[in-house]
Amino acid sequence: MEKKGTILMQRYELGRLLGQGTFAKVYHARNLKSGQSVAIKIIDKEKVLRGGLIDQIKREISVMRLVRHPNVVQLYEVMASKTKIYFAMEFVKGGELFNKVARGKLKEDAARKYFQQLIGAVDYCHSRGVYHRDIKPENLLLDEFGNLKISDFGLSALAESRRQDGLLHTTCGTPAYVAPEVINKKGYDGAKADIWSSGVVLFVLLAGYLPFNEQNLMEMYKKITRGEFKCPQWFPPEARKLLSRILNPCPFTRINMATLMENSWFKKGFKANVAAPKPLQIKGDVSSISDVEVALDEGSSVSNSSIESGRPPTRTNSFNAFDIISLSQGFDLSGLFENDMNERPPTRFTTTKPASTIVSKFEEIAEMERFKVMKKDGMVKLQGSKQGRKGQLGIDAEIFEVTPSFFVVEVKKTAGDTLEYKQFYNKDMKPCLKDIVWAWEGNEQQQQQQQQQQPQPPQPQLQIHNR
């Protein structure tokens, strides 16, 4: 058991216990070098393994690494020992927004300010491919200046968690704040679900009580699925109208984030806060996010010697006949389901180079452009360091093995602005990849030229054609 005054990893002095749960405790702590106050979350690795929460911890690390916003509680460092995982996080002094609301409703300007900060941060999370899924006043903290900070990403989801239908399917969240489509268990859009929960928070800020609140849970769910709520008479007319569009039980006609942020009531006095905090550092026995994941795997631990021993062989995903058919012209059904015509579809190329060479090429691109790199099981993730119009660029390159000497690589944008990605892809990425590309998807002319210059590789029965 950690005691007050304990020196942790030769970097932090532990202070008072701030809170605890089944698998973790949170302490106030002081950085020995800078004197900065932080919150240290200490996670018991054995309890996490027994409780089957490995993926949740991995996801929380990945999400907090991706989301660097002034209105989100920041993760400063990740450290690890053989038995514990340590998160060094921003210490938020003002407590929960819930405590402020518990004393009664807020004035319109105060409620709007908190709602603006919440929506600004949630919109940024969505631009990074992150959906919180448990937005409520208890997870919204206030700093000493009265600024809102979103916390607790333990139930969050990444865009890559979506199934083939493009929807999330895990039912989670707090009953009074959860969107009706989540309750219905037929799949849901994480962004639309977060908007609903944010609308419930706005109602609570203005009213001082919940819009859906029944002792009988089934009765409450019925009201939520029907969108049955009543605004008190003191609500401003514009706020009433906005809430009716946010708390629309049909996710397809519910207001989206872009339209919400253009709403006249919302925009009053709104100042976007996009200054990026300091980047995440990894300390102690851990050298990267993927090493933290290894440390969490059952029966394994990470030490300096294992990190220095060299790279493990590059693992790839395999392509079967169905995967190849799904990429062929005439079998691509994505147009039936994808609504955003401005989104750039994934780009694919084939190559005869080994997986390790493919990964090294993407590492070269990352180094030249100052991107961060994360590698795992045939996937290379690139994260830009510059703040663009919609945050930092996020790019995934996934490597598929068709035969032992023939690979398909799929490159896609996972976060950031589509136009900025297109410019980066055409100007920087594509020229750098030309040394390893055998053929770009649908580029038959290039394929013929390559055939004249090098031996033909083993091929699948179906060629990859342009969508």
117 and 175 belong to one structural domain: yes
In a domain, residue 272? The reply is no
φ, ψ dihedrals at 410, nearest 5°: -110, 125
Separation CA 155–CA 427 (nearest Å): 38
441 and 317 belong to one structural domain: yes
Report the pLDDT averaged over residues 231-243.
96
Contact residues for 212 (Cβ-Cβ < 8 A; gap 6+): 176, 200, 220, 223, 224, 228, 229
In a domain, residue 2? The reply is no
In a domain, residue 232? The reply is yes
Cβ atoms within 10 A of the Cβ of 428, count?
13
258 and 292 belong to one structural domain: no
In a domain, residue 397? The reply is yes
Q: Give the distance between the most distant pair of CA atoms in the chain.
A: 77
209 and 299 belong to one structural domain: no
417 and 357 belong to one structural domain: yes
Residue 183 pLDDT exceeds 70: yes
φ, ψ dihedrals at 457, nearest 5°: -80, 165
**Residue 295: predicted pLDDT:** 47
Which of 79-83, 204-208, 392-396 is predicted with the least confidence, judged by mean pLDDT? Answer: 79-83
In a domain, residue 273? The reply is no
Q: Which CATH number covers residue 259?
A: 1.10.510.10
Residue 110 pLDDT exceeds 80: yes
To the nearest whole percent, how much of the chain has pLDDT over 90?
27
Separation CA 148–CA 101 (nearest Å): 13
Q: Which of 73, 84, 82, 148 is nearest to 110 (CA)?
A: 148
70 vs 173: which has the higher pLDDT: 70
**Helix and strand numbers, DSSP H then E, in the chain:** 17, 18
In a domain, residue 275? The reply is no
Residue 107 pLDDT exceeds 80: yes
**Residue 112: predicted pLDDT:** 97
Task: Tell me which residue has tokens 């005869």.
Answer: 352
83 and 163 belong to one structural domain: no
Separation CA 369–CA 363 (nearest Å): 10
Single-letter amino acid, residue 45? K
Q: What is the mean pLDDT of the chain?
A: 77
Separation CA 376–CA 236 (nearest Å): 51
pLDDT, tens digit, for every residue of 379-438? Answer: 888 888 888 777 888 899 888 877 777 788 889 888 888 888 888 888 888 899 988 888
In a domain, residue 1? The reply is no
Asked if 134 is an active-site residue, the reply is yes
Residue 448 pLDDT exceeds 80: no
Q: How confident is the model at residue 90 (pLDDT cuts 50, 70, 90)?
A: very high
**Residue 445: predicted pLDDT:** 40
Catalytic position from the list 44, 55, 109, 134: 134
Sign of CA dihedral 295, 300, 301, 304: negative
Separation CA 432–CA 435 (nearest Å): 7
Task: Supply the range of the domain harboring residue 143.
Answer: 97-267
Q: How confident is the model at residue 52 (pLDDT cuts 50, 70, 90)?
A: confident
Report the pLDDT averaged over residues 178-191.
85
In a domain, residue 286? The reply is yes
253 and 119 belong to one structural domain: yes
Q: Which of 453, 448, 459 is nearest to 408 (CA)?
A: 459
103 and 243 belong to one structural domain: yes
Q: Which two tokens stand for residue 32?
A: 């020995």
366 and 425 belong to one structural domain: yes
Report the pLDDT averaged over residues 343-355.
79
Q: Which CATH number covers residue 47?
A: 3.30.200.20
Residue 3 pLDDT exceeds 80: no
Q: Give the ranges where 343-465 is alpha helix by DSSP (H).
A: 355-369, 418-424, 430-433, 444-453
370 and 426 belong to one structural domain: yes
118 and 243 belong to one structural domain: yes
pLDDT, tens digit, for every residue of 294-329? Answer: 445 433 333 322 222 334 445 555 544 444 434 444
Q: Which two tokens stand for residue 443?
A: 């580029």
236 and 156 belong to one structural domain: yes
Residue 162 pLDDT exceeds 70: no
Q: Which CATH number covers residue 447?
A: 3.30.310.80
| CB half-sphere exposure, 161, CA atoms < 13 A | 22
Q: Which two tokens stand for residue 302?
A: 């990470």
119 vs 467: which has the higher pLDDT: 119
φ, ψ dihedrals at 105, nearest 5°: -65, 155
Q: Which of 6, 86, 17, 89 is nearest to 45 (CA)?
A: 86
Q: Which of 220, 454, 466, 251 is nearest to 339 (CA)?
A: 251
Separation CA 357–CA 314 (nearest Å): 9
Is 381 annotated to bind a ligand? Reply is no
Exposure string for 371-394, b = 16+ CB within 10 A, e = fewer: bbebbeebbbbbbbeeebebbbbb
Separation CA 39–CA 59 (nearest Å): 19
- How many structural domains comprise the chain? 3
Cβ atoms within 10 A of the Cβ of 125, count?
26
Q: Which of 83, 64, 75 is nearest to 38 (CA)?
A: 75
